[in-house]
Amino acid sequence: MTIRFNDETFRDDYSFRNSAEAIRRFPFPFDKDDYMYSVNMEPHGTGGRAGSVFEKRFDVDEHYVAEMRDRAITLAGDPLRCQSLPHMELAGWDLLELIMQCKAEDYPELFQLHRDGDRWHWINRPLGIEQRFTFLDPTTLPCGPLEYITRQAQGDFAVLDQREGNLWMDAGMVTSQADWSLDFDIGMNFFEWHAPVPKAAEMGIFQRALKFLLAVQQGAPSRRLNWTMTVNPRLDTSPENYHLWGPEKRTITPENVGAKQYLRVELQSFWRLPRSNALAFPIRCYLIALEDLVTVPKWARRLHRVIRDLPDELADYKGFAVNRQIIIDYLAQFDDGKPTSPGIFADD
């Protein structure tokens, strides 16, 4: 398998595009025609459906190189997007090992990891990186282990300390977030950083999710999908820069909605780390323009029904209430009312 990496942008001229292959493997998040919060966990790891984003442990796709370039731009403008409280250094090394090992095993033609005791040699071909370093010795890397490896891995990464029967947002690399601030939330516990989410707390979602996550075992990662809507293929929809990207949300018209309105899906996974007992929480973002999504008839029908029937509070929270009717009107033309098959995958 070879991947052709796109030369594309996630800001300014927004030249991001999904190939036909990327559309086919898009992680469509709805397994039925309506949506409400749930603790929709399932096992993650090797052996996922061939060709899907679940096949490998840390999916690498055609956007890899461009996403890493976009992350570097964001970090250059705001170093606080990557932070680690002092007690999280070991968890950073755990994460570095996990990602290097998984990438090297799952994509041997792209990544290699050679270990001789503590002396490691890492080769990242797509990014042209070759690094010899001593594991657990931070002076042998150009930056901390968390920042080093997450500059080479798609998606945001939260690293959660586990203590007092709770999870604590004590480290992370967050440059492609759906409007939350690591700098503000760092140090908070599970209930505190989820505090702004409407309805879910009274549904008991967070109590159940926390119970599940506290019990995640080493070697048995889990995953779930989450979603929102974003105008333009923008990774950095941070609160920090909201005043800069906010005006774009008001540029949707019936004419451009198919091209400018994107479904944004997070593939969230959860990994127990071996030395620190921390929980790694990668949040991988996938974007698809509505006009590309509707090329899959099942997804078009279902997304129409989900958006149409969504409780108002959720559309508000997810930030697309202002464009909701235009989205519904656009999708309606692709919904002939026929039943949809169960599950998230396109019909073959």
Kindly tell me which of 49 and 199 has the beta carbon lying closer to another protein.
Answer: 199
| x-or-dash string of contact with another protein, 58-87, rule CB under 8 A | ----------------------x-------
Kindly tell me which of 242 and 332 has the beta carbon lying closer to another protein.
Answer: 242
User: Nearest approach, Cβ of 278 to another protein (angstroms)?
Assistant: 18
User: Nearest approach, Cβ of 221 to another protein (angstroms)?
Assistant: 27
Segment interacting with another protein (CB under 8 A) among 122-130, 146-154, 238-246, 274-282? 238-246
User: Nearest approach, Cβ of 191 to another protein (angstroms)?
Assistant: 5
Catalogue the active-site residues. 224
The correct pick among 241, 256, 277, 295 for binding another protein (CB under 8 A) is: 241
Size, binding site for another protein by CB under 8 A: 25
| x-or-dash string of contact with another protein, 109-138, rule CB under 8 A | ------------------------------
Where residue 256 falls (left for φ over 0; alpha for ψ -120 to 50; beta otherwise) is: alpha
Cα–Cα distance for residue pair 281/162, rounded to 1 Å: 12
313 touching another protein, by CB under 8 A: no
Kindly tell me which of 243 and 338 has the beta carbon lying closer to another protein.
Answer: 243
Kindly tell me which of 117 and 247 has the beta carbon lying closer to another protein.
Answer: 247
Segment interacting with another protein (CB under 8 A) among 53-61, 98-106, 195-203, 336-344? 195-203
Cα–Cα distance for residue pair 297/38, rounded to 1 Å: 25
Interface of this chain with another protein, residues 161 to 190, rule: CB under 8 A: 181, 183-188
Cα–Cα distance for residue pair 41/39, rounded to 1 Å: 6
User: Nearest approach, Cβ of 331 to another protein (angstroms)?
Assistant: 22
User: Nearest approach, Cβ of 197 to another protein (angstroms)?
Assistant: 9
Kindly tell me which of 183 and 291 has the beta carbon lying closer to another protein.
Answer: 183
Q: Are the C-beta atoms of residues 176 and 77 closer than 8 Å to each other?
A: no
User: Nearest approach, Cβ of 44 to another protein (angstroms)?
Assistant: 28
The correct pick among 132, 242, 313, 325 for binding another protein (CB under 8 A) is: 242
Q: Tokens for 75?
A: 């970090």
209 touching another protein, by CB under 8 A: no
Kindly tell me which of 122 and 320 has the beta carbon lying closer to another protein.
Answer: 320
Q: Which residues bind another protein (CB under 8 A)?
A: 80, 181, 183-188, 191-196, 201, 239-243, 246-247, 249-250, 322
